[in-house]
Chains A and B, each alone.
Chain A
Amino acid sequence: MSDTQYPAPAEAGAPQEPARRDFLEQGVKLASGAVVFFAGARALASSGGGAPGPKDNPFGEEYDWNEHRYAYVIDTKKCIGCGSCVRACRAENDVPDGFFRTWIERYIVGPEGSHVDSPNGGIDGFPPASVAFAAKKSFLVPKMCMHCTETPCVQVCPVGASYRTRDGVVMVDDQSCIGCGYCVQACPYGSRFLSPKTHTAEKCTWCYHRITKGLKPACVEVCPTQTRLFGDMKREDDPVRKIIETERVAILQPHLLTEPNCFYLHLDKEVR
């Protein structure tokens, strides 16, 4: 703070504003300096750089995330429980054993009771099951991250490591995640876990590395019955968009108002 910045006191009667404004300016500069300093410290510590700003295109020329808004449809009537999707996900994303980015649930329902299981996430299919009540219907429900618009997991992340991309995918920055597990607790669908390998939160990314190259997520790619469909709500002729817009689709736990972007066809009341 040199003398030129802080002139001698003005004569009596002269307006005091400039001095105060100077002071405020200095204050603002100091504060922004502190922010820059801390941001720098964070960038250094994370060594991977911060999340891209709103105007950046992190993908270069080939892909513009402003031109896509992804959505997912699961038709529970078509699933045969082969487990291909779970295996494909494991292979594609190196998912640790005992943890799941996607899994399949089997429901066996009768008037007197219901039975649900998911042996090892359904990765090896489903062995025959016997239940102690008269079963009237049985069906399989693939599950995964719902990529909610109003995400409880992103809301609770204390450092902003969980975020939602502009094309509608919920992701985790494993360079900033501190591994507190708050997002795991906050997800109503059980879609997240703390990876024993990276000690950070992990979840389905809709195979972001694939979809930004125009490919489909691994689970959709391998599904033999087209139970799983992946599409783009910003494309006029997209079949998934057509289903969501014209069919009766349901979402999981609608009372929580998380606005999932994964929609179900033929969902049963037993499914939560």
Chain B
Amino acid sequence: MPEISGFAFPNDIHVHWSLMIVMYPYITGFVAGSFIVTSLYHVFGRQEFKPIAKLSLAASFCFLLIAGMPLQLHLGHPERGIFVMITPHFTSAMAGFGLLYTTYLVIVALEVWFVWRQDIIEAARRARGLKRSLYKAMALWTYDSSPEAQEVDHKVITVLAGIGLPMACMLHGYVGFIFGAIKANPWWSTPLMPVIFLLSAAVSGIALLSVVYQVVSKLRRAPAEEPTVSALARWLWFFLILTITLELLEIIMLAYEKDESWHIISQLLTTRLEFSFITVQMIIGGMIPLILLGIVVMANKYMAPRLRNGLTVAASLLLLLQVFSMRWNVVIGGQLLSKSLRGLRSTYNPELFGREGVLMAIALFITPFVLMFLFDRLLPIHKAGEGAVPGEAKTGSAHV
């Protein structure tokens, strides 16, 4: 039984939204954040993101494929999960999930198809046997690779990315809305919540790609493009500044207004969430990356690639932790305080095994990377030899 300090309503001592509900916004954050990166190239024409445009689209797609899993794992009746899709009750924010998720999945799947269409056609022509049939089916038996067709593809990609970007923002903003629109819980109920979620999604997506890009470059023995790393660091810094500002503003507003809930929320932050909020979310995950990225951005031209790569990856890894702790502090923190506003329950420790346990969460985090590996086997994310050091490409490439 959890320990209670103060008085909690007797039913308020349970953490019904477990680690899986922490994982859900964490994963959809990667979906939205990665899509923002791919759109920076496809929609806004930022050439420095060209080397990772395919990588980020693949990442967004692979994380999206498992985005519904944590929800499904959390349900008391997983076999009824489909009801949200087929009999949605539209006054519920949660009922929007089916519609948003499906629409976005279709858009991303289409964009993937158009982006890789030429590769699919080429593979269909080259491959033999069963593999050939597979690629022919994936090409939808359309093999037009004329410059005119490619021009059309390019236009379609721009349009899809243009629709996909607001959809990605909505998919993730909606996750923030689920919490922000609960008037019963003062730690959640703020219109800032969807915005904070969205900005931290951008942070997590860019941080993830900064790390993955360096790892992929190492695997391919092709040095990471300097302008790409610099641009990632720059955008990461920008979104981090916005995120931290809003996360602090939310607290400062509550404190300054001396809201009726401030008494209990200040206790929550300084006792139960002292480590995960103050230490991890604000200092280790917030201030330190802010400084590291600030150095990268402001001293960029004096910086050796090795140092820049190192600082960016270090900051990105800390930010992956920061965003996780932010999700944790919102989801779990909101359930540690009772709606009596008079009591807090003891910290929630997730189980290790079981469908809502720590191992499952780790498996969920790893799965998209496995999917990305399979994706790369099927639809190469980098063309063989592209950007690689001559002579090393063939032996070192991850997918040859």
Chain A residues near B (Cβ < 8 Å):
38-39, 41-42, 45-46, 98-100, 103, 105, 115-118, 120-121, 143, 152, 154-160, 176-182, 184-194, 198-200, 256, 272
Query: Does more than half of chain B's interface fall in helix, strand or loop, or is it mixed?
Result: loop
Instruction: Tell which of A100, A155, A184 touches B92, judged by Cβ atoms closer than 8 Å.
Output: A155
Which residue in chain A gives the minimum CB-CB distance to B94? A158
CB contacts under 8 Å to A, within B307-363, are: 334-335, 338-342
Instruction: State the CA gap A42–B83 with chains docked (Å).
Output: 7
Contact A159 B7 (CB under 8 A): no
Q: Are A184 and B16 in contact (CB under 8 A)?
A: yes
Contact B87 A42 (CB under 8 A): yes
Chain B residue nearest to A200 (CB atoms) is B76
* B14 sits at the interface (CB 8 A): yes
Shortest Cβ distance from residue B49 to the other chain A in the assembled complex, whole angstroms: 36
Closest 4 CB pairs of A and B: A179-B76, A190-B9, A199-B76, A188-B184
Contact B88 A159 (CB under 8 A): yes
A182 to chain B: closest CB distance in Å?
Answer: 6
Cβ of B175 to closest chain A Cβ, rounded Å: 13
Query: Contact: B91 with A155, CB < 8 Å?
Result: yes
Contacts of A178 in B (CB 8 A): 75-77, 80-81, 83-84
| Residues from 32 to 83 in B contacting A, C-beta threshold 8 Å | 71, 74-77, 79-83
22 example contacts (A-B, Cβ-Cβ < 8 A) are as follows A41-B86, A42-B87, A45-B82, A116-B340, A143-B9, A156-B182, A159-B83, A159-B87, A176-B87, A177-B80, A178-B75, A178-B80, A180-B71, A181-B16, A185-B16, A185-B185, A185-B334, A188-B339, A190-B12, A190-B339, A193-B16, A198-B76
Q: Which residues of B contact A121 (CB under 8 A)?
A: 10
B179 to chain A: closest residue by CB? A185
Instruction: Check B95–A45 contact: CB distance below 8 A.
Output: no
**Residues 226 to 242 of chain B near chain A (Cβ within 8 Å):** none
Q: Is B89 within 8 A of A177, CB to CB?
A: no
Given contacts A103-B10, A116-B7, contact A158 B84 (CB under 8 A): yes
Say yes or no for B93: interface residue by CB 8 A criterion: yes
Could you say which residues of chain B place their CB within 8 Å of the CB of A159? 80, 83-84, 87-89, 95
Alpha-carbon distance between A178 and B16 when the two chains are bound, in angstroms: 13
- Cβ of B375 < 8 Å from any Cβ of A? no
* A157 partner residues in chain B, CB cutoff 8 A: 89, 92
- Residues of chain B contacted by A190 (CB below 8 angstroms): 8-12, 338-340
Kindly list 17 other residue pairs between chains A and B, CB separation below 8 angstroms, not including A117-B7, A156-B182, A159-B87. Answer: A41-B86, A143-B9, A156-B91, A158-B94, A159-B80, A178-B75, A181-B76, A184-B16, A185-B185, A185-B334, A185-B335, A189-B339, A190-B340, A193-B11, A200-B77, A256-B184, A272-B339
Contacts of A143 in B (CB 8 A): 9
Within 8 Å CB of B369, what residues of A?
none
Chain B residue numbers with a CB within 8 Å of A41 are 86
Give the docked Cα–Cα distance between A154 and B89 (Å): 9
Question: Within the assembled complex, what's the spacing in Å between the Cα atoms of A181 and B334?
Answer: 14
